[in-house]
């Protein structure tokens, strides 16, 4: 196992020699291949039998619509946009994942370069613009992958095509939801990416009510993903609307819109405080009544603890996987358990909302 970790560290350093998008393609290639992957990647089965058996029971959480999870860390949207290798992520230890963002029709996204590393900040700026293969093709792919997923919850992150006018957005969201309604464990409606013109303007209580009306016959749980750049009153009015419309929950948050040093959405460490503040503003409204999945700047086990203390039932990460590599979940879980032990907390689920006690 130590040799695998060493190779993985070298691999992550090696990937930095390539542009971020090429590095991502190479990383996905390794993830797809069991043989290549087994040289570098942990397998949670090894980990749980060799190292984690005593601590796993304390990490269990229950998330409405996702069920009971062995631990609370999932993969955020955008990493496996086309559902190319969802089966690889449970092997890295993720307990659930989102694929997408998926739009009705395929689209190529913004011109390259469109991902930028800021290593000194452990941050990324991206302006991908929902490049994806479109709902029909990705639904076929997911259908074929489901037997390989070992039953882990899979979320489909739903978007609109760039060319679709704002007044027809709900139709776009519904096309994708219909295509995946028998395949996804849950949906995440993305009205928060900064890279599709006008997308964030959809984030209004009116849109939430319209979407509810359009999706009233959908049984699969629907979550709404919000951006971290709203004023406090606006975010709170959205949380209230999501509660009233009885959507399953909110994913807080997407990336922070920036213009410098590149235009796009900022993720990773600098997003952390902004995103955690949204959890606090949201709690003032829902007081534990609305399930929350937190994402934004989770790079350590203590970050997981802090998000859950502020009301998240589970968390998702993306940027940490880029900087810390395939052992990230393993490391975060050990740090999280150390934090729980330090505070004499026996069960992680007792942490949810403890910041407000
Ligand atoms: C390169 C890149 C692409 C992303 N693409 C999407 C996307 O398609 N849909 C989405 O909802 N979020 C997308 N995100 C945002 C992540 O899902 C996540 O919300 C955000 O990065 C914050 O988490 P992190 O700080 O752990 O990266 C993307 C993030 C990155 C870095």
| C-beta of residue 90 within 8 angstroms of C-beta of residue 228 | no
What's the gap in Å between 291 CA and the centre of ligand 1? 20
The DSSP code sequence of 177-233 is: HHHHTTT-SEEEEE---TTSTTGGGG-SHHHHHHHHHHTTT--S-EEEEE-TTS-HH
pLDDT band at 98 (very low <50, low <70, confident <90, very high): very high
pLDDT over threshold 60, residue 234: yes
Does the pLDDT value for residue 48 go beyond 70? no
Angle between helices 328-342 and 301-309 (to 10 degrees): 60
Note the pLDDT tens digit of each residue in 156-215: 999 999 999 999 999 999 999 999 999 999 999 999 999 999 999 999 999 999 999 999
Q: Say if residue 253 is exposed, middle or buried (CB neighbours under 10 Å; 0-12, 13-18, 19+).
A: buried
Q: CA 115 to CA 128: how far, in whole Å? A: 7
Q: What pLDDT is recorded for position 45?
A: 57
Task: For residue 265, count CB atoms less than 10 angstroms from its CB and return exposed for 0-12, middle for 13-18, buried for 19 or more.
Answer: buried
The whole-angstrom separation of Cα 193 and Cα 257 is 9
Cα separation, 117 vs 332, whole angstroms: 22
Task: Name the active-site residue from 192, 193, 272, 300.
Answer: 193
Please state, for a pLDDT cut of 70, what percent of the chain lies above it: 96
* 28-46 pLDDT, tens digit each: 988 888 777 777 777 665 5
* Average pLDDT, integer, range 252-266: 96
- Count Cβ atoms below 10 Å from residue 260 Cβ, excluding itself: 7
Q: Is the CB of 200 under 6 A from ligand 1?
A: no
pLDDT averaged over the chain?
A: 93
- What local confidence, expressed as pLDDT, does residue 49 receive? 52
Q: Which CATH architecture has domain 44-356?
A: Alpha-Beta Barrel (3.20)
Among 254, 320, 323, residue to substitute to test ligand 1 (most atoms within 8 Å of Cβ): 254
Give catalytic status of residue 272 as yes or no. no
pLDDT above 70 for 271? yes
Distance between Cα 343 and ligand 1 center (Å): 31
Are the C-beta atoms of 180 and 139 separated by less than 8 Å?
yes
Q: What is the C-alpha to C-alpha distance for residues 311 and 99, in angstroms, rounded to an integer?
A: 24
The mean pLDDT of 47-75, rounded to a whole number, is 82
Instruction: Report CA(267)–ligand 1 centroid distance (Å).
Output: 7
How many other C-beta atoms lie within 10 A of the C-beta of residue 319?
A: 28
Q: For residue 231, give both structure tokens.
A: 């004023």
- Is the whole model's pTM more than 0.75, yes or no? yes
Ligand 1: which atom is nearest the Cα of residue 130?
A: 8
Inform me whether the pLDDT recorded for 150 exceeds 90.
no
Domain boundaries, the chain: 44-356
Phi-psi region of 122 (alpha: psi -120 to 50; beta: other; left: phi over 0): left
Please give the average per-residue pLDDT across 267-279, as a whole number.
98
E strand or H helix at 126: strand 123-126
pLDDT band at 327, cuts 50/70/90? confident
- pLDDT band of residue 340 (cuts 50, 70, 90) is very high
């Amino acid at each position: 196992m130590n040799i695998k970790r060493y190779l993985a560290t070298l691999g992550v350093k090696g990937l930095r020699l390539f542009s971020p998008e090429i590095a991502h393609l190479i990383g996905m290639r390794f993830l797809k291949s069991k043989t290549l992957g087994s040289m570098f990647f942990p397998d949670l089965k090894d980990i749980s039998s060799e190292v984690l058996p005593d601590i796993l029971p304390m990490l269990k959480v229950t998330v409405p619509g996702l069920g009971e999870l062995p631990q609370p860390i999932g993969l955020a949207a955008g990493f496996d946009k086309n559902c190319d290798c969802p089966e690889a992520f449970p092997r890295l230890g993720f307990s659930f994942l989102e694929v997408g963002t998926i739009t009705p029709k395929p689209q190529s996204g913004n011109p390259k370069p469109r991902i930028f590393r800021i290593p000194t900040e452990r941050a990324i700026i991206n302006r991908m613009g929902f490049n994806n293969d479109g709902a029909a093709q990705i639904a076929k792919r997911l259908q074929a992958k489901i037997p390989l997923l070992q039953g882990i919850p899979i979320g489909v992150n739903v978007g609109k095509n760039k060319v679709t006018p704002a007044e027809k957005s709900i139709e776009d969201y519904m096309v994708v939801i219909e295509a995946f309604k028998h395949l996804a464990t849950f949906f995440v409606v993305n009205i928060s990416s900064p890279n599709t013109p006008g997308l964030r303007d959809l984030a209004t209580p009116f849109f939430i009510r319209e979407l509810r009306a359009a999706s009233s016959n959908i049984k699969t749980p629907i979550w709404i993903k919000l951006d971290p750049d709203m004023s406090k009153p606006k975010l709170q009015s959205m949380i209230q609307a999501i509660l009233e419309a009885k959507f399953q929950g909110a994913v807080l948050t997407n990336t922070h819109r920036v213009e410098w040093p590149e235009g796009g959405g900022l993720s990773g460490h600098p997003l952390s405080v902004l995103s955690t503040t949204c959890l606090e503003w949201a709690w003032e409204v829902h007081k534990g009544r609305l399930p929350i999945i937190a994402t934004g700047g989770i790079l350590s086990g203590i970050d997981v603890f802090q998000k859950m203390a502020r009301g998240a039932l589970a968390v998702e990460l993306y940027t940490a996987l880029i900087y810390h590599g395939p052992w990230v979940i393993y490391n975060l879980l050990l740090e999280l358990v150390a934090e729980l032990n330090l505070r004499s907390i026996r069960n992680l689920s007792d942490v949810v909302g403890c910041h407000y006690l």
